[in-house]
Amino acid sequence: MTIKFSDQETQDEAVGFLASHFSGRLLRSGEVIVPEEALAALAAENYSFTVLGKATSDQEMALKRELSH
């Protein structure tokens, strides 16, 4: 899934949380690609974010390549 956080401080904290629990990727645009199960975990931790939609197949493939190295 592709998500975006409401502000930089929230993004920094949430990305730190995500890094210790899930795979993901922070894009230069500020969007973050995370597995769908990360959404519930972020919500449970009270992080405010907007779901932009499913990651594109190109984004998913890039993430899988990154994780396989």
Provide the mean pLDDT of the chain: 88
Average pLDDT over residues 24-39: 90
Q: What percent of the chain has pLDDT over 70?
A: 84
pLDDT for position 66: 61
Residue 24 pLDDT level (bands cut at 50, 70, 90): confident
pLDDT for position 29: 87
End-to-end C-alpha distance for the chain, whole angstroms = 21
Cβ atoms within 10 Å, residue 5: 20
Average pLDDT over residues 13-41: 91
